[in-house]
Amino acid sequence: MVEFNPDGSIRLPGSVAANIARKELKLKKEKCILIKKDLVDFRPKKCILHVKVSEAFSDASFVSEIFHSLQLDTPVKLVRISEREFDIEVGTDFKRCSDCNHISRRFREYLEGNMIEEKGSCTQKERDFYYEDYFE
């Protein structure tokens, strides 16, 4: 059943609100990053990974170091939004979905799994073979 707040907005279920609070607390206290995948354009497909670095890190330079160490087929671009926020633009290429997930895996390896990943508007699941990469 849908419940409403006094201001008329829809009240989030307890589990969703607790999950949001847990993610926010983790970003403040633990050394982790948040990666949100968004599909920006359909024709041709273009994606952006929004990377937010935890406040527990004194320096966020590891993001650019990991980014520049990648060897990808897809054209990618790192844009620094603020001291702790970055956008990684994933261009159109034959292997864009595989390379996008490769970027996420590299950050997960560096942080030993301490990463929050949100799908955003991305329609892909993480796997090794992408039909869209080869038969689009």
Domains and CATH numbers, the chain: 31-134 (3.30.70)
pLDDT tens for the chain, residues 1 to 136? 678 888 988 888 888 888 888 888 888 888 999 999 998 887 777 889 999 999 889 888 999 999 989 888 788 899 999 999 999 998 877 777 888 888 989 999 999 888 888 888 777 765 555 555 555 5
DSSP characters for the chain? ---B-TTSPBPPPHHHHHHHHHHHHHHHHSS-EEEEEEEEEETTEEEEEEEEE-TT-S--HHHHHHHHH---SS-EEEEE-SSSEEEEEE---TTHHHHHHHHHHHHHHHTTT-EEEE-TT--PPP-S--HHHH--
